[in-house]
Amino acid sequence: MDDKLTTLASLPYSKAEILRSLLESEGIDCVLEGDNFLQDAMDTGVKIRIFEKDARQAFPILEKMLGKVTTDQSKAENYVLIPIDFSHYSLKAALIGFDIAEKIGSKMVLYHSSPRPEFLTIPYSDVIVYDSALFVNYELTEKLTNQKFEAFLNQLTALIDPERWRKAHPEYIVKIGEADDDILSYIKVHPPKMVVMGIRGEDAKSDDLMGTTTAGVIFNSQVPVLAIPENTSDNWLKNFKTVVYATNFEAQDFIALDKLLKLVSPFECKLICLHVNQGQNGELDEAMLEGMREALSEKYPYAAFDCRLVHSKNLTEAIDQFIQENQIDVLALTTHRRNIFTRFFNPGISRKMVLHSQTPIFVFHT
């Protein structure tokens, strides 16, 4: 069994070469194998194959290269990261992520992480015992993942013009691990301009507005995340015209709006600052909103924005209704507004809301 090869990961060629040099520097033999699932349509990456006896030593090296270390996240790399789990949500996110990457002149990276069989931690006294059955399970996981990845890419490329796809030069990373932890680790080492992912995955509960992996990435990464619902239009970016940001006149809101305007500037869309008055100080809120409008007009004379006030005792339902009535394309939130953020993702509330069926949610940090 020790002489049997197993796949450590599938990576873009440049990263595969780096990993090979790291493995060989530690005395681990490895082989690079290229694959083309769709013939000449795309380069699906390079498999790094190692002997099974070296798996325990090799996994930490892979994880250190792709993550598990800190870096300066202020220096974003020129790419859009799209985590996928082969669900319909992932397909929609990949389509929109491709359009966004093309629009801003960035590379697109598809990232998939499959659960790792726990064959590395079977201690008996001071000896690590390798269970052959678990290695068989690992091979089956690898085979099934490759099949799903091939089917996913077939679906994706069937919806995109072949010439556009070839010019995009997308990259693919497929590895064994825990999805949310691996995505966050990779972001730390290689901060993207943006993460685009499905708002949920295949395993999401029907009552959940957002899946656990998406929520984990949003709350724990410092890069902007665009969460895409399954029913979002395929040509969403072409019709992307309006973003709404809920404000409560906090000092932090002006910092958030400054960052948000910069983030959405490549898309030439209109920003609406929305305040929900919940029954008190209506005249004061009107005055505060007018002051915000004047301040923004002075600071951003060429930006397209508006400030609106609605009256409702229910904050989330008011925002949801405003989105529906005004054909809003994106709801922008910041994680510093925990009260709004957590209320949106409360299952009891989300069951009553329809915005998550077609309105992407853009979360950024200030």
Asked whether the CA dihedral 53, 56, 61, 66 is positive or negative, the reply is: positive
For the chain, the average pLDDT equals 80
pLDDT at res. 268: 87
Highest mean pLDDT among 64-73, 90-99, 124-133, 258-267: 90-99
For residue 16, give every residue at least 6 positions away whose Cβ sits within 8 Å of its Cβ, in sequence order, or none: 32, 45, 46, 48
**Residue 275 scores a pLDDT above 70:** yes
**71 confidence band (pLDDT: 50, 70, 90):** very low
219 vs 37, more confident: 219
Tell me what the mean pLDDT of segment 41-54 comes to: 73
pLDDT at res. 208: 58
pLDDT in tens, 187-209: 988 899 999 999 877 655 555 56
Cα–Cα distance for residue pair 320/34, rounded to 1 Å: 48
pLDDT at res. 154: 93
153 vs 68, more confident: 153
pLDDT in tens, 150-169: 999 999 999 999 899 988 88
Where do the domains of the chain lie, and which CATH numbers do they carry? 68-228 (3.40.50.620), 240-364 (3.40.50.620)
351: its two tokens:
């069951």
**Residue 329 scores a pLDDT above 90:** yes
pLDDT at res. 308: 92
pLDDT at res. 206: 54
pLDDT in tens, 114-140: 876 554 444 444 444 555 555 566 677
Are the C-beta atoms of 66 and 182 separated by less than 8 Å?
yes
pLDDT at res. 121: 46
The letter for the amino acid at 204 is A
pLDDT in tens, 211-228: 788 888 888 888 999 999
**Of 181-195, 318-332, 345-359, minimum mean pLDDT range:** 345-359
Please name which of 240, 298, 239, 250 lies closest in space to residue 273, comparing C-alpha atoms: 250
